[in-house]
Amino acid sequence: MKHYFDQAMQRLHSGDSDAAVSICAAALLTAPDDIDLLTLHGVALLDCRKPHQAEPPLRRAVELAPRFPRARENLGQALLQLGRPDEAIEHLQQAAALEPGNDSVRMKLAHALARMGDGERADTVFEEAFRLAPDRGKLAEATEHLRHGRIKECKQIAEALLASNADDVNALRLLAKVAGEEQRWPRAERLLKRALSLAPEFHDARLDLATALKQLDRLDDALACAEDTIARAPQNAFAYYVYASMLAVCGRQEQALAAYRRAIELRSFHPAAYVGMGHLLKTLGQTDEGIAAYRKAIEQRPNFGEVYWSLANLKTFRFTADEVADMERRLADEPLDDDARVHFMFTLGKAFEDQQSFDRAFEYYAEAAALQRMRISYDPVETEQLHERICEVFTAEFLKTAGSEEHAGPTPIFIVGLPRSGSTLIEQILASHSMVAGTAELPDVGRVSSSLAKMYPGETYPEAVRHLDAAGWHELGKTYLARTERHRQGLPFFTDKMPNNFSAVGFIHMMLPGAKIIDARRHPLDSCFGTFKQHFAHGQTFSYDLDELGEFYLGYRRLMRHWQQVLPGRVLELRYEDMVADQETQTRRLLDYCGLPFEENCLRFYETERAVRTASSEQVRQPIYASSVNHWQNFRGQLAPLIEILGEELADWDQSK
């Protein structure tokens, strides 16, 4: 039987738990009472997240060998996973007595005691485990610091661990996580590669490396890294989860969906995978299936605030009165972290707004935004200074100097402006045209402009553009087109609806002279309040304080007036309210500006099947409706500070009707 045991152990260590289960099961037909095989069979089943099936072989091993600590430890683990911590404690205590030096069994016992509400005894046992394995205790402490955002404390412990053991791969991975929190992704990459050189089968580190490569905008390398992990550990559910998220970013939605489903097959308890799958199904327009995936995530993790916001963010979804009451109870009674609280409060704001309880809705929106503002970094003065520098560089005289020649190949259509201003509607209309590929909010303009810092050390955008000649501008445009190729479908036009590109109109004009640029506008208060009550997954850090939001809007308008002055006629201004009032006229105007022939499909944009990744994904799958025009008036009293800041802009808007 030793041959079968060794073979199964090898498969288990390589990540192929299913194969280990099969080998043990076959061998046990010949030797049903082999204690080692029974125990290994149970361990492999636990690794497959099948505690119900793991319990019988582990219990049989304990019956045959009551003093075999490994069998008792894993039976305790199975019972813990089955939600029977009281039974688990009995076996874990006996395993700890049989093997006094085993820190692992004490960690499991401590978790079981904590599950039973015996916090005092749990703390004592945790301390015993850490005394037996001091480095493990330090790693646990550092990890807890990181989880609560105490970056400095985590970093100090990890560096101390490496000082005593330069080959501590867990400390290397922890420091890489710290580097990621500090946005030092090249350092994270170096640390993770060092860990993998020491432990090539350290799968968690390889998946962290995939994430670092994604952050470094090396998506092909990130995908290859995730694929390598799957090849090494084909039963690793988290590897498929990470792989799915990479595929989704690359626009390979069907493959991403299959990877999420494989992750769930391998580990049925996987709330994060259900959320990712829900996002993807929503993007693909499969709303009912997306809602079912979100509900499954809630079933598995009831305090997962992000899932509730994902449902609210469908915009067309409505919570029941019982669901609203349950969310309020969770906010009041559950020990939620700040991230969950923010998500629950934004969700409740949307729920009460749907009920037309506008005062109650605003209270939740304001509380959520205030808490989120404390968690992010945003400097309004720095933003204002950047806008001023852009205007100083991109003068009318500078814009008359030699820029790029027109590029052969597809024509980009940039849709810029503030979020929640109708840009997704414009994109959906364009993407309904047979000559236009609809993409997403692409980050590539910002990344191309940021690359100038490497080309001209000591200078950054925008001042660095003064070094560029016509060839340099052409090369930047070529780089942008190459970077965006993965999102296009071989059509002669494609959209890029990153709203923040409004500050880069001059940069776009110089590197892509044939590009079309559309300024998506909406009533300033509808636009600003729509942005304020939207919880963005990333970016838009200006949006969580009404005063800062108002000042940002004024800065956006100053820049757009600058572009109209120095590049007259270059940007098409398209108002959401005009599109609602006269869809066909505005659609023809839009297509004429882009140089596209009119097509009836553009009027039936809501019938177009495509991936839409923004908060308006459900709304643009319906015909145009007017209910969102002047919606801000329901909150007129609460928006008084914003109304005061936007004074002249509001007057100009009313006069230009």
Find the angle CA(614)-CA(441)-CA(431) to the nearest 5 degrees.
80
Reported as half-sphere exposure (CB side, CA atoms, 13 A), residue 117 has a value of 0
Q: List the strands of the sheet with 411-417, edge to edge.
A: 436-437, 493-496, 411-417, 516-521, 571-575
Check residue 48 and give its pLDDT: 82
Q: Please state at what angle helix 35-47 crosses helix 2-13, rounded to 10 degrees.
A: 20
Nearest to 414, CA basis, from 616, 214, 593, 622: 593
CATH 3.40.50.300, applies to 380-655: yes
Nearest to 621, CA basis, from 254, 286, 347: 286
- Measure Cα distances from 480 to 146, 301, 445, 485, 486 in Å: 36, 41, 7, 9, 11
Nearest to 478, CA basis, from 405, 375, 381: 405
Place of tokens 């479908």: 489
Reported as half-sphere exposure (CB side, CA atoms, 13 A), residue 322 has a value of 0
The region, left, alpha or beta by phi > 0 then psi within -120 to 50, assigned to residue 320 is: beta
Q: 255 burial class (0-12, 13-18, 19+ CB within 10 angstroms)? A: middle
Q: Can you give the length of the chain in residues?
A: 657
Check residue 626 and give its pLDDT: 60
Condensed to tens digits (0 to 9), the pLDDT of residues 75-112 reads 999 998 888 888 989 999 998 888 887 778 887 888 88
The residues spanned by each domain of the chain are 2-134, 302-375, 380-655
Residue 67: other Cβ atoms inside 10 A: 11
Parallel/antiparallel/unpaired status of strands 493-496 and 516-521 = unpaired
Find the angle CA(475)-CA(438)-CA(490) to the nearest 5 degrees.
60
Q: Which amino acid type is present at position 202? A: F
Q: How far apart are CA 344 and CA 325, in angstroms?
A: 12
Which numeric CATH code is attached to 2-134? 1.25.40.10
Q: 121 burial class (0-12, 13-18, 19+ CB within 10 angstroms)? A: middle
Check residue 83 and give its pLDDT: 82
Mean pLDDT, 10 residues at a time, over the chain (657 residues)?
A: 83 78 91 92 87 92 92 91 87 89 81 80 76 69 79 87 84 90 91 91 91 89 93 88 91 91 88 92 87 92 91 88 94 89 96 94 96 92 96 96 88 94 91 91 92 89 94 95 85 94 97 96 94 89 95 96 96 94 94 95 80 50 63 92 91 74
Q: Which two tokens stand for residue 95?
A: 């395993």
